[in-house]
Amino acid sequence: MFSSHSQRNRFILSTIVGVGIVAVAGVAVVEGLKREESKTTHKSENTVPRPISLIASGDTAGWIVPCGCTSNQSGGLLRRGAIVASEKETSNVILVDVGGAAGGTSPYDQSKLEAILQGEIKMGIAAHNLGGSELKLGSDYLQAIQEKLDIPFVSANVRDSDGDFIVETHRVIDVSGKRLLIVGVVSSLYAVSGLQISSPRDAVLAIADEYVKQYDWLIVLAYMPERELRSFASDLPEADVILGGATHQSIAPASVGPATLAAATNKGKYLVHLQAPFKNDQDRWKGRVVEVNQDFKDDAIQKQNLQQFYSELSKQDFTAAQTGFSPPLPINPPPGYQISGTESCLKCHQDDARHWEHSAHAHAWKTLRRSGAHVDADCQRCHTTGFGLPGGFVSVKRSLNLVNVGCESCHGPSAAHTRNTKIRTPFLAKDQCIYCHDRENSPEFKFEKYWSQIIHGQQDPESNTEPQP
């Protein structure tokens, strides 16, 4: 068969090489198939959509941050931001606000609302419904602030006097391969001059009809009292989720017909957290109400936003009259109804002065300075003397001589008394405590307990003036 040993050896060698090549090629093919299979599997895993989370806030009412007067206070954008940021690590988050973010209509309240809206934008807000407190600000202001901040306002049943919508009626959000149609409405109970409020149900249905078969879920933001909200939900089976505000208490997610109904309220101290149906589109949205408490750390971005707000307040230096916090004055104030300053009191009440100087009242301003809140009128009103009263605290740049809680914070404007001690101080001091020591800021306040810490006036320097607590 072989003419020589050399030919035989060459044949054996070529056979061995051929087998080796085939083996190597086979291994390469197998490894290639494994890699392709791995790529396919990895690609399949990556195409699985992330869960969708819907987080709703409402009725923030200017509560950008807890005042800090007592522990265990809930709410604030710093913690809200932390909750949203944490949820974004595992889910695609749709953040909405049902409305009621403003605390009032004064220049100070407008500045605070702008800071709240800036905070929402930094969280990635998808839609902010116009609630009762927003409508009080008027269409001109709302349109101006929307243009300035590019905040995604929605309101489908509010028009101006010409019959034109004042903001967008809805928002369409595409997320994880799904499309959410978000519509905002408000109760006619919050109607204000110059604005028309139509039927919330008709407004929602009109938009749903316009987008028929173009969305997967209909989300309705409905700023209404609880009874109206529940009735509205019962009459709107077309909705998948109905989120309420102005309900005085939060409502845990529950089924109302085919929809999921929930509400977040009370100064933004609670959030509604819902999860979208993951596999079957016919399943309901489910979730819970989350208290924005001390379990959540402050978000760094929201902390920066708060500091920017404080910086703006420092520049503006709003007067008490620009804040909406000034106390009401008597219809006919008596002569001498004016703050005279604590120094005027200490000249005669020397024993009481020494006691006051060692009290927390005498150092109330320092507690604000530590947090930077001394520029915030919401805090100033309870850490100064005569806030908004004649001759009383006006603003930081005008009235540093009236910081701290002085005698007239409790006894009232006493210029007349300092001139003639027979004229009694105008306030019954005991009744003034709860102006600042309310359930929000001083939940454990008991007059007898607190009075024991500041007892004074037991020996009045003028025998014809009765000591008053």
Sequence spans of domains, the chain: 52-309, 322-451
Q: Are the beta carbons of 408 and 386 closer than 8 angstroms?
A: yes
Q: Are the beta carbons of 434 and 427 closer than 8 angstroms?
A: no
- Going by the DSSP 8-state scheme, the letter that residue 441 receives in this structure is T
Question: 171: closest CA among 146, 138, 197?
Answer: 146
Q: Cα(197)–Cα(158) distance, rounded to whole angstroms?
A: 5
Question: 392: closest CA among 378, 373, 379, 406?
Answer: 406
Instruction: Taking the CA atoms of 141, 146, 151 and 153 in sequence, report the sign of the dihedral they define.
Output: positive
Question: 55: closest CA among 86, 101, 14, 19?
Answer: 86
Tokens of 281: 């589109």
Residue with tokens 């116009």: 130
- pTM of this prediction? 0.86
Helix (H, G, I), strand (E, B) or coil at 97: strand
217-223/195-197 β-pairing: unpaired
Q: How far is CA 420 from the centre of its chain?
A: 49
Taking 50 as the pLDDT cut, the residues of the chain under it are: 1-5, 8-9, 11-13, 15-17, 19-30, 33, 40-45, 463-469
Q: Are the beta carbons of 390 and 315 closer than 8 angstroms?
A: no
Q: Are the beta carbons of 113 and 101 closer than 8 angstroms?
A: yes
CATH superfamily for 322-451 is Flavocytochrome C3; Chain A (1.10.1130.10)
What CA dihedral angle connects 8, 14, 17 and 18, to 10 degrees?
Answer: -120
Name the burial class of residue 66, with classes exposed (0-12), middle (13-18) and buried (19+) by CB atoms within 10 angstroms of its CB: buried
Express each pLDDT in 292-338 by its tens digit. 999 999 999 999 999 999 999 999 999 999 999 999 999 999 999 99
Q: Cα(268)–Cα(97) distance, rounded to whole angstroms?
A: 10
B/e letters for 154-166, b = 16+ CB within 10 Å, e = fewer, are bbbbbbeeeeeeb
Give the CA count within 13 Å in the CB-facing half-sphere of 395.
14
Question: 309: closest CA among 36, 133, 32, 62?
Answer: 62
Q: Cα(224)–Cα(226) distance, rounded to whole angstroms?
A: 6
User: Which CATH number applies to 52-309: 3.60.21.10, 1.10.10.10, 3.40.50.300, 3.10.580.10?
Assistant: 3.60.21.10
Task: Look at residue 296 in the predicted model and tell me its pLDDT.
Answer: 96
